[in-house]
Amino acid sequence: MTTFPRATRHSLEHYRRVLLALRPALVAGRCHASIAATLNEAQIPSATGGTWTAQAVTSVLKKLRNKTGPLYRAMLELCFQGSMSPGLCRPLLQSL
């Protein structure tokens, strides 16, 4: 499986799962602890391979907002590949 970016151990599929789990929670205005619980229930590991915490969600959202880090680059790559539509990605950025 192709990884993106190369410096991470996570695949684009991992990032797609994270983004798709984040989207409805952000649109609904859920708190970071609740979003972490959702990611953990979906059995999606955090960047360190462990469980999600509210602080980890805050960090990810900050990186998305600042347009830095592997998650944001993966989101762009997923849009480019057609795996996620720009319509799915737009609410992620607008709700931050």
The answer to whether position 75 is within a domain reads yes
The answer to whether position 20 is within a domain reads yes
pLDDT at position 35: 92
Q: What is the pTM of this model?
A: 0.68
The answer to whether position 43 is within a domain reads yes
The answer to whether position 6 is within a domain reads no
Q: How many domains does the chain have?
A: 1
pLDDT at position 1: 37
Inform me whether the pLDDT recorded for 10 exceeds 80. Answer: no
* 62-83 CB burial, b ≥16 within 10 A, e <16: ebbeeeebbbbbbbebbbeeee
CB-based burial label for 40 (10 Å; 0-12, 13-18, 19+): middle
Q: Which domain does 29 fall in, by range?
A: 12-94
The answer to whether position 7 is within a domain reads no
Which tens digits make up the pLDDT trace of 45-96? 887 888 999 999 988 888 777 777 777 777 777 777 777 777 777 766 665 5
The answer to whether position 2 is within a domain reads no
Inform me whether the pLDDT recorded for 3 exceeds 50. Answer: no
